[in-house]
Structure 1
Amino acid sequence: MENNDLVIIVANLSVKYEEIRVLENINFNVKKNEFVGIIGPNGAGKSTLVKALLGMIPYEGQVIINGKVGYVPQLSSFNREFPITVYDFVRLPLMREKNWKENVDSTLEKVGLNGFGKRLVRTLSGGEYQRVALARAIVGKPDIIILDEPESGVDEMGKAKFYDLLYELNEKLGITILMISHDIGMVFEKCSTVMCLNKTLHCHGPTDKIKPEDVKKIFGDFDIWIRSHSHYEIEHSHSHQADDKDVR
């Protein structure tokens, strides 16, 4: 594979806080136009990995990013009570541009929020806010979008619409996406590649090549079930009975 096909290259990445190793010897590449879902239990180091990729924390090893990056942080990272309009929130990456309004309007239209520019961010629902956060991430026309748990605080309907939107950005605009998610079903339905992380990288490959036993290794005493060939569920090992459509 030519290096110009790779937009993210990570080699021997390790992160420690004081004397505690949070990530250990992470190695992976992301190709142009991939849609990568990162899954793992709480405390697995998923957000730490994203912060290292973005250069927000010190790390050991090598990270190479080939392209412009847009970032959608966790919902809790922004005080939504701050009195700011959607226009001002989305145009933050364009503060030095004079003719920003047309760009922001077209971006809001892309995420299905046409006409929302004058609304206050604090009046938005969880799903609307996440689409506004996505608009801010893509308004600068990035090559790569990195998202940290975009479904957090969003209801099931809003979550499905948001994932559909990411899928369209990946398919139609060719944006490479790297996303942390707790929704394993959506990851295996929408993403082209899955990374299973728990301190280190346990599995990494095309969605249809990752097996339940691969995923189970990182969730300890939980069982992974495949339903209808595309939906993954996590269940306590003694709390679920299989039916004829389940494959363990």
Structure 2
Amino acid sequence: MTALVEAQNICVRAGGSEVLHDVSLRVTKGEIVTILGPNGSGKSTLLRALLGILPVSHGRVSRSPGLRIGYVPQKLHIDRTMPMTARRFLSLPHRHSRADSDAALARVGVPEVADRPMAGLSGGQFQRVLLARALLTKPDLLVLDEPTQGLDQPGEAAFYRLIEEVRRDTGAAVLMVSHDLHVVMSASDRVICLNGHICCEGTPRVVSNAPEYRALFGLGTQGALALYQHAHDHDHTHDHPHDHHDHHGHTHA
């Protein structure tokens, strides 16, 4: 399948030292790829190289022609003295109609915040507005840099659910850097463990059992990667016709 974005043996240098060495990866249409790694492992550097923000010192990054990317940054500071509403924020830097902006906020589950100041939103609401702004570009690829940082476990789980629904409804691929080394959305098609280079790669379950993953995160022989599930104690043999929590073929622990 043709890659939306692909890195071939890339190296990235910063401040005279090599931050990424010989990294190769590709993201194809409709898949969810999660990048895990400790602080300083080069996760954000890799995203910026894939987006063309940072130059590579070796190798090649290619993106499909006309690729539309929706980017959700790791952190965004809003001046608390500036009374910018969520709807107004969605029209920066490109203006969108009120109807489109309101539809985007509704899509991410926060229609009530349209006229509220951005500085007054909760962490979860703020991240959903950032996601709405990214979705307004109708992206082929959604890139999220530690989108659940600062959220509590229920907030993180709800945001993961939302990402799964966006992929299902729009067909957009998702490339996500996760700050949580111990929990990964089970809908991830691939997990890449990064520490300056790719240590291991595979499905969430394969990676959770990889000795490289355990060594990288100091988990020892007892450590394990927990896979976030939609409903841990849900019995699909008795599904209600209208229950559509988990129809992505997830394997339940």
Q: TM tier, shorter chain?
A: 0.7 to 0.9
Tell me how far 1:217 sits from its aligned partner: 3.5
Matched, 1:72 2:72: yes
Aligned residue for 1:105, secondary structure, equals helix
Superposed CA deviations along residues 83-142 of structure 1, whole A, max 9, x for unmatched, are 3110111122532x5xx2111111111100113211100110000000001111111111
Q: Partners in 2 of 1:9 and 1:106 — Cα distance?
A: 32
1:5-154 alignment runs, 5 A limit: 6-60=3-57, 61-66=59-64, 67-75=67-75, 77-79=76-78, 81=80, 82-95=82-95, 100-154=97-151
| Structure with more strand by fraction | 1
* Alignment CA distance shift 1:80-1:177 (3 Å): farther
Structure 1 residues 173-225: Cα deviation after superposition (integer angstroms, max 9, x where no partner) = 21100001022444252312101100011112222332241312423x44362
Change beyond 3 A, Cα 1:161–1:209: same
- Structure 2 distance, partners of 1:18, 1:115, is 45
The letter for the 2-side match of 1:79 is I
2:214 to 205, 211, 216: 216
* Distance in 1 (alpha carbons) for counterparts of 2:77 and 2:139: 21
CA distance in 2, matches of 1:162, 1:80: 25
Amino acid in structure 1 at the alignment position of 2:150: G
The equivalent residue for 1:237 is none
For structure 2, the 5+ residue unaligned runs are 229-253
- Check 1:171–1:62 CA distance in 2 against 1; reply closer, same or farther (3 A cut): same
Please say if residues 145 and 176 of structure 1, whose CA atoms lie closer than 8 Å, have aligned partners that are also in contact. Answer: yes
The alignment covers a number of residue pairs equal to 224
8 Å CA contact retained: 2:6, 2:26: yes
Q: Normalising by the residue count of structure 1, what TM-score does the alignment of the two structures yield?
A: 0.83
Q: Which runs of 5+ in 1 are unaligned?
A: 232-248
Contact 1:212 1:225 in 2 (8 A): no
What is the TM-score with the length of structure 2 in the denominator? 0.81
Which residue of 195, 200, 205 maps to 2:197? 200
The 8 Å contact of residues 32 and 190 in structure 2, kept in 1 or not, is answered as yes
1:226 aligns to 2:229 (yes or no): no
In the alignment, which residue of structure 2 is the partner of 1:241? none
Percent of aligned positions that are identical = 36
In 2, the alpha carbon distance for the partners of 1:131 and 1:202 equals: 31
Aligned to 2:168: 171
**Does structure 1 conserve the Cα–Cα contact (< 8 Å) formed by 2:30 and 2:173?**
yes
Please say if residues 160 and 185 of structure 2, whose CA atoms lie closer than 8 Å, have aligned partners that are also in contact: no
What RMSD, in angstroms, separates the aligned Cα atoms of the two structures?
2.2
CA 192–50 in structure 1, closer or farther in 2 if over 3 Å, else same: same
Query: How far is 1:34 from its partner?
Result: 0.7
Superposed CA offset, 1:27-76 (max 9, x none)? 1111211111100111000011111111222223211122210101112x
